[in-house]
Amino acid sequence: MPAVWQRHPRYFLLVALVLTATFFLLGPYQSPPSTDSYAAYIRDSTLPARIERAEGVYQKTITDRKGLIQKYGPTSRDIAMFPSDKDPWPAYTVWSFFPPSFNCPHELERVGALGDGGKWACGLSRLEHKPDCIIYTFGMNYETSFEAEILERTRHCQVWGYDYRSSSFGSHIKNNYRSHFFSWGLANIDSHEGKPKLYTLKTLLEMNKHDHIDVLKIDIEGWEFDTLTQIIQPYLLSGEPLPFGQLILELHTWDKKFNEFLPWWEMLEQAGLRPFMNEVNLVYQNYNRGKDTDLAEYSFINIKGNNIFVSDPHDAVMDSDVI
């Protein structure tokens, strides 16, 4: 007996076409757009893709920095932090070499008060419902509008504040069970006898039984250079990622030379820290007219490891823009 397809070839062809179309429409695979298509070049809709694109931009900044040093140097020893106003006057300051060119992959916003006290943060929405959210903040000196907004906008964040110049958080925070204050200082050594009591970040993490910090905020009046060196070097040696996802830092470059500042900054970069926002402290400058603009706020995201700002939680919705 002849096969069905031989007796009714048109019928068989129709069935084959229907099945093929069904598998194509319902199947998970879709062919990539043509390389001639504009859509083929838009590939930053996911969080990893946005991080990768931002890192590409930042690597260009590092290359451009070397070119700027060569132009005005030609070595880092020849670069002035703030050049004198005399011919030939080079058009730069130290901050020109370190622009915050890494793009925040989430929303960028100023948290806390406008003017003094507020800080630029990336992706605060990712902390709103995070169950193990931890914030460490050093050197508030009673200006705690940033910390207060964090507590107000999140459900679970615990804020740990340290400042040997203060006896409590500022008036923005009152009787919040998620806030913890100590009149201690952050330093590159442990010195618990006498006053002020100084602690390394490693010691505080061990005391508090924490293995991560979501946002680390530091304003310690020039001690940030030695302190961050002490924090970061062990992680560089071990190859482990830093234990914090975001660093908000005020830099005080008093009496710093460029060839001292540059390797310290490069250490931050080597550890995975990328600046996404900066703000020269013009309030300080207004009270110190005629002096150098040697204070600046910088906000960094840590691109190494799997912190919440660069990695979606395991139970996240696949579309990272929803998080």
| Least confident span in 17-31, 244-258, 280-294 | 17-31
Averaged pLDDT, 89-99: 94
- Inside any domain, residue 322: no
- Inside any domain, residue 272: yes
Query: How would residue 319 be classed by pLDDT, with cut points 50, 70 and 90?
Result: very low
Between 289 and 217, name the one with better pLDDT. Answer: 217
Between 44 and 205, name the one with better pLDDT. Answer: 205
Averaged pLDDT, 206-226: 97
- According to the model, what pLDDT value does residue 160 have? 98
- Inside any domain, residue 195: yes
- According to the model, what pLDDT value does residue 245 have? 98
- According to the model, what pLDDT value does residue 118 have? 93
Q: pLDDT tens digits, residue range 120-155?
A: 999 999 999 999 999 999 999 999 999 999 999 999
Query: How would residue 106 be classed by pLDDT, with cut points 50, 70 and 90?
Result: very high
CATH number of the domain enclosing 290 = 3.40.50.150
Domain that holds residue 285: 102-302
Identify whether the C-beta of residue 66 lies closer than 8 Å to the C-beta of residue 26: no
- According to the model, what pLDDT value does residue 85 have? 83
- Inside any domain, residue 60: no
- Inside any domain, residue 76: no
SS3 sequence of the chain: CCCHHHHCHHHHHHHHHHHHHHHHHHCCCCCCCCCCCHHHHCCCCCHHHHHHHHHHHHHHHHHHHHHHHHHHCCCHHHCCCCCCCCCCCCCCCHHHHCCCCCCCCCCEEEECCCCCCCEEEECHHHHCCCCCCEEEEECCCCCCHHHHHHHHHCCCCEEEEECCCCCCCCCCCCCCCCEEEECEEECCCCECCCCCEEECHHHHHHHHCCCCEEEEEECCCCCHHHHHHHHHHHHHHHCCCCCEEEEEEEEECCCCCHHHHHHHHHHHHHCCEEEEEEEECHHHHHHCCCCCCCEEEEEEEECCCCCCCCCCCCCCCCCHHHC
Query: How would residue 256 be classed by pLDDT, with cut points 50, 70 and 90?
Result: very high
- According to the model, what pLDDT value does residue 262 have? 98
Q: pLDDT tens digits, residue range 2-32?
A: 554 455 555 555 556 655 655 555 555 555 5
- Inside any domain, residue 318: no
Rg (CA), the chain: 26
- Inside any domain, residue 65: no
Averaged pLDDT, 36-50: 78
Tokens coding 148 = 């207060």
- Inside any domain, residue 5: no
> How many domains is the chain built from?
1
pLDDT score of 36 more than 70: no
pLDDT score of 64 more than 90: yes
pTM score, two decimals?
0.85
